Amino acid sequence: MQVSAANEIERVDPDAFRRAMGSFATGVAVVTSIQEGAYHGMTMNALTSVSLDPCLLLICCRTGSQTGRAIKTSGEFVVNVLAEHQNELSARFVGSVEERFSGLEIEHTEVGVPMLPGALAHIGCRVHAVHPGGDHDIIVGEVRFCRAEAGDPLVFHRGAFGGFARGTRR
């Protein structure tokens, strides 16, 4: 790392950062919300648990995204953790597809947020806090309910989707 005379860290090339972060394998989720009766959702891998007492998690949404606005406006969202066989579903929630929810057998939370069928887990949250984070909003959610099913996760690594190879436990 180079440091300038003014002790400021030089700006890292965003493409180099993206490549480096691509080395970190992650799970894949679709976060969903509802705003004024309209469903919103987007694929993401910027997700992590924050606390067990209370149960908190965080997601990161591009600033100005429709789904991010819906989450901040409604105050509610669901993280749908995708199963290995749901690669097509992850692709459906990327880009500008108008009918992302069309043809899906949607379940709903008690406040109407859509939950995707076949997900490994559903984690329903109420917005706890929102923090600016560069070109993204860091949204901390307080978990209101969660459920998990058996199965293997969809994994994202270096720009590609795949499965999880089980090894031995340590």
- Residue 166's pLDDT is 76
Query: ω into residue 54 within 30 of 0, thus cis?
Result: yes
- pTM, two decimals, is 0.88
Q: Give the residue extent of every domain in the chain.
A: 25-148
| 15 or 166, higher pLDDT | 15
Mean pLDDT, rounded, for 63-79: 96
Residue 52 has pLDDT above 70, yes or no: yes
Distance CA 115, CA 112 (A): 9
Q: Exposed, middle or buried by CB within 10 Å (0-12, 13-18, 19+), for 141?
A: buried
Q: What is the CATH number of domain 25-148?
A: 2.30.110.10
Per-residue pLDDT reduced to its tens digit, 110-120: 999 999 999 99
Distance CA 124, CA 33 (A): 10
Q: How many CB atoms lie within 10 A of CB 48?
A: 10
Residue 54 has pLDDT above 90, yes or no: yes
